[in-house]
Amino acid sequence: MTIEDKFEELKVDDNTPQEQIAEVQAYEEADTRIGRDDPFTFGQRKLQSEEEVWNHNAWDNVEWGEEQVKEAQEKIAKQYEAPVKDFDKKLYNGNPARYWDIFYKNNKENFFKDRKWLQIEFPQLYEATKENYGPVTIFEIGCGAGNTLFPILNQNQNKDLKIIGADFSPKAVDLVKTSENFNPDFAHAAVWDLANPEGALPEGVEPHSVDIAVMVFVFSALAPDQWQQAVDNLAKILKPGGKILFRDYGRYDLAQVRFKKNRLLDDNFYIRGDGTRVYFFTEEELREIFTSKFIENKIGTDRRLLVNRKRQLKMYRIWLQAVFEVPK
């Protein structure tokens, strides 16, 4: 995305150009698409009083008051005044992989690969890498440049671990396969559309062969009318007793309320300046989508306040995290 597109997305009319640039930069630093949602002090830092707010870069479990919800809803209501035009909707929904491909072409160098929060939030993943764990297959769906695949592969001690990455962007899969960290003894990568209507499985993946499916910021890239197909496809791939580890954008996240005109595709569903799509979920929606086929182990909301002290900016981030299980 160009800096002009970012401006369009983030523009606050009464800000000076310097403030707008500062805001764009702060937002870019917090861009989850390139892995920068690193809650390394997760659950440990609670804001007790407003006066403390500038003392740290991040606060956990920040409470939202009614006023704040109302403010977010008002901003979202304004987005309905200028939604995406029908012609453009068809364009963006027609070939979403193309826009992600361009994204990876433009962002080759920018990927953050050491997500420490994965170990804290999804300990199952790291259990599987221990020396005597035994045979296990992990599948990262919408793997992008391999932000989950590589941290697991890099610390693996389990000779019976198999890790698969799939993405519908050929460029992303290429980045994974050509990485110097890619080890074909344990890893495999394929181009695959999670919501493909034929119910096809990724090349090299047998039905009901996966123990753990990881979906980090991928479900939000689907249109709501693709959710059921994606769940059906997942059910075909996972073993009985298998797990789905999920993290994605939550309703009223900064990224949602910041959208301005010509971005709204559908309720809570947007097109970014670079043509990639993004949905913002509630806990209830996740429950409805996934419990049609799976058992809910956990659904939680991670509310964080990220503070850019230098620029005196407050950014309210909301992510959902969940674990589902396949019935035995």
Which residues are near ligand SAM by CB under 6 A? 33, 35, 100, 142-144, 147, 167-169, 172, 193-195, 216-218, 221-222
Which CB atom, from 217 or from 259, has the smaller least distance to ligand SAM? 217
Distance of CA 288 to CAs 128, 149, 203, 283, 310, Å? Answer: 29, 28, 29, 9, 41
Which CB atom, from 307 or from 315, has the smaller least distance to ligand SAM? 315
Which CB atom, from 111 or from 294, has the smaller least distance to ligand SAM? 111
Minimum Å gap between C-beta 32 and ligand SAM is 7
Half-sphere exposure of 175 (CA within 13 A, CB side): 28
**d(Cα 88, Cα 99) in Å, to the nearest integer?**
13
Structure tokens at 142: 């919408």
DSSP label at residue 202: P
Cβ atoms within 10 A of the Cβ of 142, count?
Answer: 24
Minimum Å gap between C-beta 194 and ligand SAM is 4
Which CB atom, from 307 or from 320, has the smaller least distance to ligand SAM? 320
**d(Cα 26, Cα 311) in Å, to the nearest integer?**
8
**d(Cα 199, Cα 308) in Å, to the nearest integer?**
44
Minimum Å gap between C-beta 215 and ligand SAM is 8
Max alpha carbon distance in the chain (Å)? 60
Minimum Å gap between C-beta 110 and ligand SAM is 11
Which CB atom, from 35 or from 307, has the smaller least distance to ligand SAM? 35
Minimum Å gap between C-beta 111 and ligand SAM is 7
Minimum Å gap between C-beta 279 and ligand SAM is 11
Query: CA angle 149-151-154, nearest 5°?
Result: 100
**How big is the chain, counted in residues?**
328
Which CB atom, from 6 or from 33, has the smaller least distance to ligand SAM? 33
